[in-house]
Structure 1
Amino acid sequence: MTTERIEHRACFGGWQDVYRHRSEVLGCDMTVGVYFPPQAEQEPCPVLYWLSGLTCTEQNFITKAGAQRYAAEHGIILVAPDTSPRGDEVADADGYDLGKGAGFYVNATQAPWASHYRMYDYIVDELPAWIEADPAANDRRAISGHSMGGHGALTIALKNPGRYRSVSAFSPIVAPSQVPWGEKAFTAYLGEDRAAWRAHDTVALVAGAQERLPLLVDQGDADEFLRMQLKPELLQAAAEAAGHPLTLRLQPGYDHSYYFIASFIGDHIAYHAKALHR
C-alpha cells in the first residue's frame, strides 16, 4: 500500500498524524487521521476507530473533538478516516447527504456508486489491516462515531461479532430504513430491496445480534435532527425487545454539533479503555 505522511504534530505528549494512502478497495487515495499516544513509543496500544458524519473529512474529529487528551491518558491510538471515497473519478451528487462526504459505511451495489463506494469493506478490513501492521498498534479494537458515523459504528460492530471490544455512538442514525437520510442513501447505494437495507440498520440488527455487545449512545435533546432523522426511541424499543444491553443517555441542552461530542468524548474514551485494557 502506497502511504505518505502529510501532517505530523506534537499533541499531549504523542503525535497527531495525517496520512494519504492508496485504497485498493475504494480505488482512490484516502486521507486518515491517526493519533499515537505517548505510550505507543514503549508498547503496542489498542485502537479506537472513529467514523465521522455527513459532510465530514478526517479533519473534523481530530481538530474539534479534543479526544487526544483522553487518548493520551488511556494509551489508545485514535484512527479517524474520511467519510467517503474521493477524487475526480468518484461519483457524486448535488446534495450534502449523498455521494462524497456521505458514504454511509456500506458497500454500494448500484451504478454509478458500486465501483468506488465500498466503505464497509474499507473500515472493516482494509483500514485495520494497514493500521495494525504498524508495531505501535495491537489487535484490540473499539469503534465509535457520530451521526452517519454512529450508524456505521453500531452496524459494523453488530455485524462483526468478536471483532470489537466495545462500541459507542453520538447522535447515531439508528434506523436508516425509516428516516429520510437513510432512505435516500440506501435507495441510491443499495437499490429498492429493503431486505438489503436491513443488513445495515441498527434497529433491525439488534433483534438478531449474535453477540450482545453493550451499546453506549449519547444523544442531545436539543438536536435539530432528533425527531425526523435520529429517532433513538426506536433503538430503545428494539434493545428492550431483544434483551440487548443499551445505555442511552439523553443529554439536556445539547445539539448535533462537535460541542456536544467534545463535552462527552472523555466519557466515551474511558468507556472504551476499560474494554480495551481488560
Structure 2
Amino acid sequence: MIEKKSENLIFNGQQFFYSHHSDTLNCDMEFSVYLPPQSKNKKYPVLYWLSGLTCTAENFTTKSGFQRYAADHGVIVVAPDTSPRGAQVKDIKDEWDIGCGAGFYVNATTNEWDQHFKMYDYITKELPTLIKDNFNCSDKASISGHSMGGHGALICSLKNPGMYQSTSAFSPIVNPVNCPWGQKAFSTYLGEDIELWSAWDSVELIKQGHQVNHLFVDQGLADNFLDNQLKTDALKQACESKKINLELKYRQGYDHSYYYISSFIGEHIKWHAQFLN
C-alpha cells in the first residue's frame, strides 16, 4: 500500500511523492516517481536514481531538472530515499556520513544496524515490485546515481546481471574498501572482517569477474573528493583489465554538486533511453 503525498504537473508529466511501509527496512519510506506524458496509455521503462550522502528523495527530484528529458524520452524515473528513517531507526547524532542519510545501499549485518539497514534488498527487490504493482511500466529498467548513490547503482547492477539495461553514475564512490567514507560505513554496517567488504565494492566485484553490459561514468575534475574518496581511475583500470566497455567522461571545471548533475543529466537520460526504448 502506497500513500500519495504530493502531485505536480511538470513538462506535461506528473511528479509524485509517495510514502509506504517497507517490510525490508522495517520502517516507513518515501520515494518520488515521475510519469512522463501519456503514461496512463503506454507502458514506459523505469530509470532508478540513487542519491548520495545526506540526501533524501527530494534532492534529485527538485534540483536536477531531469523531468524535461524524461518527458522527451518517455522514461519513468524513480528516486528513493538514501536510508531508513524514523524514531525507531538507529542513528548516530552529529554524524552525517553514517546512519540516516547514509545507507550506502548495502545489507547491514552488524548488531542493531541489521534491523533496518537493508538498502540493497530494498532497492533490488522491494522497490521494483512496488513500482510494477502500482504503475503502468514496462519490464525494462536502468539505474543511475550520484556519489554514494553512484556506488549503489554500480553494485546493484554488477550483482544482478540482466536486471538493468544500462548503468550510469555521477562521481561514484567506486572503491569504498580503500576510501575513508567506505571504510567507515563498511566497518559500521558489515563489521571488521575486511574480506566481507569486497562483495559491496564495484572495483572488487569487477576483479572477481562480475560484468555490466552498458556503463557510463561522469566525473568532474574540480571535484574535491576525487582523489581521496572517489578514486575513478581504479574503476577505469578494473574495467580495462576485464574488458568491460566503460564510457568515462571527465568534465573540466565541474565539482560534486547538483549544478554539475543538472548540466549533464539530459545526456545521461538520452544515453539510457537508447537501451530502454
The TM-score with structure 1 as length reference comes to 0.98
Query: How far apart are the structure 2 equivalents of 1:11 and 1:206?
Result: 39
What residue number does 1:244 align with? 244
Amino acid corresponding to residue 113 of structure 1 in structure 2: W
3-state SS in 1 of match to 2:8 = strand
Q: Which runs of 5+ in 1 are unaligned?
A: none
RMSD of Structure 2 on Structure 1 (CA): 0.9
Q: CA deviation at 1:39?
A: 2.9
What residue number does 2:231 align with? 231
Query: How far apart are the structure 1 equivalents of 2:208 and 2:228?
Result: 25
What residue number does 1:216 align with? 216
What residue number does 1:20 align with? 19
3-state SS in 1 of match to 2:192 = coil
CA contact (8 A) 1:45 1:138 kept: yes
Query: How far apart are the structure 2 equivalents of 1:30 and 1:231?
Result: 31
Query: How far apart are the structure 1 equivalents of 2:256 and 2:247?
Result: 19
Query: How far apart are the structure 2 equivalents of 1:212 and 1:143?
Result: 12
| TM alignment of 1:107-256, pairs within 5 A | 107-256=107-256
Could you give the per-residue CA deviations for residues 3-43 of structure 1, whole angstroms, max 9, x where no partner exists? 11001000110100000101000000000010000031221
Could you give the per-residue CA deviations for residues 100-122 of structure 1, whole angstroms, max 9, x where no partner exists? 00000000000221000000000
Amino acid corresponding to residue 149 of structure 2 in structure 1: G
The TM-score with structure 2 as length reference comes to 0.98
What residue number does 2:65 align with? 66
What residue number does 2:33 align with? 34
Q: Which runs of 5+ in 2 are unaligned?
A: none
What residue number does 1:102 align with? 102
Q: CA deviation at 1:209?
A: 3.6
What residue number does 2:88 align with? 89
Query: How far apart are the structure 2 equivalents of 1:103 and 1:275?
Result: 29
Aligned residues: 276
Percent of matched pairs sharing the same residue = 55
Q: CA deviation at 1:210?
A: 4.3
Q: CA deviation at 1:127?
A: 0.2
CA contact (8 A) 1:159 1:209 kept: no
